[in-house]
Amino acid sequence: MTQFTNLTPVNGFDACDLINARQNNYAWSISDLDDFIYVGTGRNILYTIIKAIQSQTAIPVLINPVECPVDSLPPNAVDNRAEIWRYRKDGCLPWQRVYKAYTNEMSGFRYMIRHCPLNGSPTLYAAAFGSRVQIVKSTNGVVWCVLQDQVLEGTSSRAMITHKGKLYVSTIDEANMSALPLLYSSEDPEFFPWEKVIVPEAPGFNPERNPTGAITNMAVFNNRIYVATSTQNGVQVWRTNGSEPEMNDWTKVVDNGFGNPLNRYSLAMGVFKNHLYVSGTKPLPLAWLVPMGCDVVRIDKHDNWDLVVGGHPLISIPGYDHPGCDSITMIGSGFNNPFNVYAWQIQEYKGRLYISTFDDSSNMEVVLTVLLKNREALYGIISQPITDLLIFIYSTVLDVLKAIRYPVGFDLYVSDDGINFRSLFLDGLDNPHNYGGRILYVDSCKDLYLGTANPFQGCEVWKANDTDCRKSRPCYDNYASLWEARNLLNKHFNTITENMPAIMQFISKTYFEQ
């Protein structure tokens, strides 16, 4: 099987300050420049957003960013200022922090890209998550500058591409996701202001011939720009008709969530062997509390598409059942696992297609511990019997997962042809706290790096050593024992959904979408 080497002897990078290291929850973005790879982190994601939504929520030790009672924290112990770390590719130098944000308003770098502005030297650009989206730039990886900007809207960016000499960035407002797509371009935003690519207020604008919905992902395929948008009727995929975007010159390729309107978000896109692969994630926050596996489609150069993963989720949702279709692989949603809520990254590497997941099973414990920590408050909101029933449901799910020896942690799947998939591992690289394969990145030397999401210990970064997949396993027999957990969640579906607003007062939607 593919062998990986852990490049992070200390989770979260910072060997000199372990409390700071733990607060680097996610390896949110990776890029490279010259002899180094660069990692942008996401800080204290769960803690910060729960506190922002409900400041009185008691935080269980499991997800407390510092290991002492929150009420006794010293000033500034919880530090949300985003960081960028680098690692020399040959391993001769330890991790070095090259940037730390000056304000808590910049709490993570969700995307990073290498771009050659004005046909010049490679330069790094990173998009920050915060009260408003900001871009930082570095020409040498050591000096980073926040670019002044009055154009970009939203609070974050999930996607950046470089195409035809321009840098493109899509942005979203995490708190109030708009039906309007936000897409901008610039040769170099240090010298040329961002230009809005999709302008609904422009004279002659035709909404039928331009993307609609918030852009959650973006890729270049067949010399065209493809964007995935989120709408109430499901994921849509649009492409430019020419090599560059023009008003009223877009084609809608996929609609209605790949035929299943439950697929509301696309969190991954990747090109492999003349196809564009696109993921679909079910409604949030419902899919976290009653896990529903992700779907994946592939699109060819002629706008034909096939369902590759999905069609028969292990957990059926009353009133939301899929109209019914088989994937061409006969692999069900979530690679036959409802806890694989996201296909989080899709990446080609050395002639093979790799897909990493987000394993929601870890969050069954998060939900349970938050319910237990806030039990008295929930008694007053949804009653003692309902609160105790919810605690019973999630504690029983955890008991089932333990009894069947469920491999907690994200999965990594590989395919030689984009149809026949096998699992490389199912256990977060032997760490159940690695619940997400957050980033798969192939550098300029054609090496594969994998960054994890781990809000419990701090993130990790791994490097692939080889691609021997002979010991990988077929997908169909990975999760045959999940029926008991599936039946339990199905049985209590109505109870969970009816009380979801109360639960979500304490567990924020934005955390899980990261």
Cα separation, 154 vs 235, in Å, equals: 20
SS3 473: strand
What pLDDT is attached to residue 321? 47
**In the structure encoding, which two tokens stand for residue 419, read together?**
């149809």
* Longest CA span, the chain: 65
pLDDT number for residue 51? 66
User: Given this model, what pLDDT does residue 24 score?
Assistant: 96
In the prediction, which pLDDT does 509 show?
A: 41
How many whole angstroms from its chain centre is CA 203?
36
What pLDDT is recorded for position 3?
85
CA distances from 7 to 11, 89, 488 (A): 10, 10, 40
Which residues pair with residue 471 across a beta bridge?
Answer: none
Q: Which of 462, 415, 418 is nearest to 437 (CA)?
A: 462
Rounded-to-integer distance, Cα 44 and Cα 359, Å: 19
Q: Which residues of the chain have pLDDT under 70?
A: 1-2, 48-60, 62-64, 66-76, 312-325, 467-472, 474-478, 480, 483, 504-514
In this prediction, residue 288 carries a pLDDT of 80
Residue 62: its pLDDT value, please? Answer: 67
Q: For residue 178, what pLDDT is reported?
A: 78
Residue 388: Cβ-neighbour burial (10 angstroms; 0-12, 13-18, 19+): middle
CA distances from 62 to 28, 69, 188, 377, 409 (A): 21, 12, 43, 19, 16
Q: Are strands 275-280 and 461-464 parallel, antiparallel or unpaired?
A: unpaired
Q: Determine the 3-state secondary structure of 368 from DSSP.
A: helix
Give residues with Cβ within 8 angstroms of 353, minimum separation 6: 270, 272, 273, 277, 346, 347, 414, 415, 416, 418
State the helix-helix crossing angle for 362-373 and 375-382, rounded to 10 degrees.
80
Residue 203: predicted pLDDT? 97
Whether the Cβ atoms of residue 46 and residue 455 lie closer than 8 Å to each other: yes
Query: Which ranges of 404-498 would DSSP assign to H, the alpha helix?
Result: 483-491, 493-498
Q: What is the pLDDT of residue 469?
A: 60
Per-residue pLDDT reduced to its tens digit, 340-367: 999 999 999 999 999 999 999 988 988 8
**pLDDT tens string 496-514:** 777 777 776 665 444 444 5
How deeply is 157 buried, as exposed, middle or buried, from its count of CB atoms within 10 A (0-12, 13-18, 19+)?
buried
Going from N- to C-terminal start, the domains of the chain cover 50-78+362-405+481-514
Q: Do you find a cis peptide bond into 60, omega within 30 degrees of 0?
A: no
The SS3 assignment for 487 reads helix
The pLDDT, as a whole number, for residue 409 is 96
Exposure string of 173-198, with b = 16+ CB inside 10 Å and e = fewer, is bbeeeeebbbbbbbbbbbeeebeebb
